[in-house]
Structure 1
């Protein structure tokens, strides 16, 4: 009998990639979104969609009923542990067997960023939930570079406040395919495991610019910026101050060398190496092209 998998954060980058990775698999997909318009769009694509908000525990029970596995993704914000708690409670009440949770790289009670510390609280709750569980902690997403597409297209440059940081950055598709592998395997196989997911090598943003330039066949240059300059830009785009503060904490940690590492986990779980930055650049070249 097919297992029913509930996908939270269903319209987000990772969850969308996960649904693509699960396409054609012997599972019944169910999605949870916050507003009816997004649910309608998913239903039109043939996906079972429920409207509910992780801020509102009373809205969750219908989506969790008869679910075997939950892909749990909570939005970044100060209420993230509360959102996780509400989902875990709904899952427990519904008799869910397994939670596969998307955490963050370096989640720990002494992480140098508020996101890592908040995720550590939720990870610990999952570990003590009484259900089978697996936690995924992915490194910096290569897809974050898509936020720089407008500048790269217009000027051939992009600016980040990470100085000469090296990061074991990962393609979101590899996160999704790893999550799909976990969800499709026997629930006991990955129970109790926390997997840190990275790309194949640690890269500077000068190296990223080099690979983007090769894919686009034109110069691309990385221009390090100050924290203040990046803060002003993000606030100007309307990014909430809490998120801006969180991103600055990550940038400072990465600039100090905190993200300079890789793991073999993706290769071990998928039986192939993770995608390289060159693969990402070629695959997204149109996004960076005028």
Structure 2
């Protein structure tokens, strides 16, 4: 915790591991103990602690916890991260400069990890 001593803000992002909720809550608790003034959290665009789906549910639980923590926060909710789309999608991106999803005519916003910072 010594390395956080002079920090004023935290950017919170991690992959959805089995202990995701506990790990994220621990970062928020420690940040509060250390007097961190602001947390920037990257969440799923569908974050909802009552969702029947795993990713939105775990992100929603962290979202709820952060909001109630009393720390100032900024929550970023992209609908997807480009690095999560490897494999077959890469072919259509290279060939057509687009990829396809089951959203009908709807559009979604995806971000690249290098663009977040």
Instruction: Identify whether the pair has TM-score above 0.5, normalized to the shorter chain.
Output: yes
1:106 alignment counterpart:
46
* Stretches (4+) displaced over 6 A: none
Give, in angstroms, the shift of residue 134 of structure 1: 1.1
> Are residue 81 (structure 1) and residue 18 (structure 2) matched?
no
Give the distance between the partners of 1:64 and 1:110, measured in 2 at CA. 33
Q: Whose Rg is larger?
A: 1
1:62 deviation in Å?
2.3
Secondary structure of 1:138's match? coil
The aligned counterpart of 1:148 is: 87
Give the drift of 1:93: 1.4
Structure 1 residue 175, shift from structure 2 partner: 5.5
Structure 2 match to 1:139? 79
Contact 1:138 1:175 in 2 (8 A): no
1:174: how far off? Answer: 8.4
SS of 1:89's partner is: helix
- Compared with structure 1, are the counterparts of its residues 171 and 131 closer, same or farther at alpha carbon in structure 2 (3 Å cutoff)? closer
**Which among 165, 175, 185 is matched to residue 102 of structure 2?**
165
Structure with larger RCO (C-alpha < 8 A, sep 6+): 2
Cα pair 2:81 2:110 within 8 Å, conserved = yes
Supply the distance in 2 between the matched residues of 1:144 and 1:73 (Cα, whole angstroms): 14
C-alpha spacing 1:77/1:171, structure 2 compared with 1 (3 Å): same
Counterparts of 1:144 and 1:75, CA distance in 2? 11
2:113, 2:54 → 1: CA distance?
A: 26
CA RMSD of aligned residues (A): 2.8
User: 1:197-208 alignment to 2 at 5 Å?
Assistant: none
Equivalence for 1:127: 67
TM-score by length of 1: 0.33
Question: Which 5+ residue runs of structure 2 have no aligned equivalent?
Answer: none
**Alignment match, 1:69:** 9
Task: Verify: 1:95 aligned to 2:35, yes or no.
Answer: yes
The normalised TM-score by structure 2 is 0.76
CA contact (8 A) 1:74 1:83 kept: no
